Structures are given as structure tokens and as C-alpha cells.
Amino acid sequence: MGTQTDAPRRYHHGNLREALLRRAEEVLAESGAGELSLRGIARDVGVSHAAPRRHFADKQALLDALAEDGFGRLAVALDASVGDDGRPFVERLAAMAEAYVGFAVGHAALLDVMFTGKHRPGVDASLLAAGARAFQAPLALVVAGQASGDVVPGDVERVATSAWAAIHGLASMANAGLLDAEALPGIVADTAERLVLGLRPRG
């Protein structure tokens, strides 16, 4: 269903860009990326089919904007989840894993948009930055873990990547419908636990 108000249609919408993004994300959440059409959201917002072009050069530009926004919100969610430094490493990692997977299943289609075509030639720099920013959270967690002796020393980026892949994999598989939604929380907890064991310094 559309979202346009019956308000007196002014010629200038006033905040079309934001309105389009909002509606686009609704469509994404309701019907998936396949159903998203520029003309469709233009209709829903109550504007002509060519109006979006003023704000997004092409469809991909809109998707990129959605992705960037998504990474921003993901970063916030991850930062919020991990809590302060005082908590034990195990707990912090479990909390962050839960937050990540939670975001993923809560915004399945958006996650797809976020993770497809980042390597596309000529991606917007701000999108890449937003992605990097989101991945700062797990990175910081690994740094803290190394400092507290909970994580094997070594190249932080590498350790963090390897570790976070486990969580991302869970998210990705859940997203694809391969994981029983009901069993998911338990599996996430299990994975986090085993991750801690795998990351522990030897000896």
C-alpha cells in the first residue's frame, strides 16, 4: 500500500529524497529487493515516475544509499550491544554476535543489499566507509580481547575477520532460510562459545 498523504500536493515535495528512502526500505522489508522499483516508490510517495532521478542517478544509487544507511544502523546496534569494557570478553562477544544476527534476520533484504556489489568497480567511497565503520566494532572487541589475554595475539584485522566470519556466516545462513528460526538463538550462543575457545591463546 502507498504511503502518500492526501495533503495539498505542493509542486516541491520538500524532502523527497528522505521520503523515497523511507518508502524504499518499507518495500524492501515487506517484499524484498526484487519488488523494489523506482517507479513504484515514486508512485507510493505521490510523485512522478522521473522525480527520483533528481536525487538518485540510477537505481543502484538508491540501493547504495539504503546500504549506507543500513551500515550506519548496524554500527550503532553493534556498538550498543557490546557494553562497557568491564564485562567479561565472553559475554561481550556473545552479546555482539546476538546483535549482529538479530539485525541480519530483522533486515534480511537490506542485508542483501548491503553485501552485494560492494566490490563493484566505482563504488561510492562513503558506502565503503560506512561498511568499514560497522566492522570497527568487532575489530575493537578483538583488540580488547587481546589486551585482556582472552584472544590469541597476532594481526588484529586478520583475527577479527576470521572470527567475525563465523557470525556473519550464521547471519547469512539464517537469512537464506537454512537455519530453523526457533533454534537460531541457541546456535548463535553455541557458536559464540566455540569461537571463544578457538580464539583463546594456546598453552
Report if residue 58 touches DNA, rule: CB under 7 A.
Answer: yes
Report if residue 3 touches DNA, rule: CB under 7 A.
Answer: no
For DNA, the closer of residues 48 and 126 by Cβ is 48
Looking at this protein, which amino acid is placed at residue 156? V
Among 6, 178, 182, 203, the residue binding its own copies under the rule CB under 8 A is: 178
SS (H, E, C) 50-70: CHHHHCCCCHHHHHHHHHHHH
Report if residue 37 touches DNA, rule: CB under 7 A.
Answer: yes
Local structure of 184: helix, strand or coil: helix
176-179 contacts: CB < 8 A, separation 24 or more? none
Residues 19-78 that bind its own copies (CB under 8 A): none
Residues 102-161 that bind its own copies (CB under 8 A): 112, 115-120, 131, 135, 158-159, 161
SS (H, E, C) 162-178: HHHHHHHHHHHHHHCCC
Residues across the chain: 203
Residues contributing to the site for DNA (CB under 7 A): 9-14, 16, 36-40, 42, 47-51, 53-55, 57-60
Residues contributing to the site for its own copies (CB under 8 A): 112, 115-120, 131, 135, 158-159, 161-173, 176-179, 183, 186-187, 190-191, 194-200
